[in-house]
Amino acid sequence: ITAEACIHHLWFTDQDYDQKGVLIKWNPAVKTLEDREAIWQALLDNRIDVIATDHAPHTLEEKAAKEYQKIPSGAPLVQHALVAALTMFQQRGLPIERLVEKMCHNPAILFRIQDRGYLREGYYADIACVAEHSPWQVSKENILYKCGWSPLEGTTFDYKVAYTFVNGHLVYDKGTILSQEKGKRVLFDN
């Protein structure tokens, strides 16, 4: 049995509904501060193996449905997952190695993904290089999601992704997407 926790369950609590409303509607729902702390405890004592994003880039039009039951669950989180996780780990005094284990190593191990999840000779170099002490605020102007919004708009992070490599190729350089090169098919061990 394996388990994952999503960025939004580690970041938000039910107190955020007053400001964010349906933008933070997920299944399962974001719950109380006590629930969030219990998820953190399970993550830290290794009952939870993976930190995931549950990336669901619904449009603002979809999130604005009149009937609550028709509003889709989920939100875009891939672009901000790493900087949010780094922020949370730093605030809790946790080592970055633990974050790498939960977001890179364990997914590759659990899903038996070939040649990924580690920086090793012969593995695909999927790497994000992050600048620390580089404050910036999430805004419509710097969101790269095609849906054009984030539940983290207005949040200031001290970490910023400077470079991203996909399969060893530089594809993102300090705010500029350099290549439309597609990733390679992920292969799994039998």
Task: Answer yes or no: is 36 within a domain.
Answer: yes
Q: What's the pLDDT score for residue 160? A: 97
Task: Answer yes or no: is 54 within a domain.
Answer: yes
pLDDT over threshold 90, residue 132? yes
Average pLDDT over residues 131-153: 96
Task: Answer yes or no: is 185 within a domain.
Answer: no
Burial label, 77 (beta-carbon count in 10 A; 0-12, 13-18, 19+): buried
Q: Amino acid identity, residue 139?
A: S
pLDDT over threshold 80, residue 182? no
**Residue 110 belongs to what domain range?**
4-177
CA distance 144 to 138: 11
Rg of the chain over all Cα atoms, to the nearest angstrom? 17
Average pLDDT over residues 183-188: 90
For 106-139, the DSSP string reads: HHHHHTTBTT-SS--TTS---EEEEEEEEEEE--
Average pLDDT over residues 32-55: 97
CATH of the domain at 167: 3.20.20.140
Catalytic residues: 54
pLDDT tens for 94-125 read 999 999 999 999 999 999 999 999 999 999 99
Task: Answer yes or no: is 47 within a domain.
Answer: yes
CA distance 166 to 173: 12
pTM, two decimals, is: 0.94
pLDDT over threshold 90, residue 181? no
Task: Answer yes or no: is 184 within a domain.
Answer: no
Domain total in the chain: 1
Judged by DSSP in three states, 51 sits in strand
Task: Answer yes or no: is 188 within a domain.
Answer: no
Task: Answer yes or no: is 186 within a domain.
Answer: no
Each as own residue / partner, the long-range contacts of residues 109-118 (CB below 8 Å, 24 or more positions apart, any chain) are 110/2, 110/49, 110/50, 111/188, 112/188, 112/189, 112/190, 113/186, 113/187, 113/188, 113/189, 114/186, 114/187, 114/188, 114/189, 115/187, 116/186
Give the residue ranges of DSSP H helices in the chain: 7-11, 17-20, 33-44, 60-63, 78-91, 96-100, 106-110
Whose tokens are 């969101």? That residue is: 143
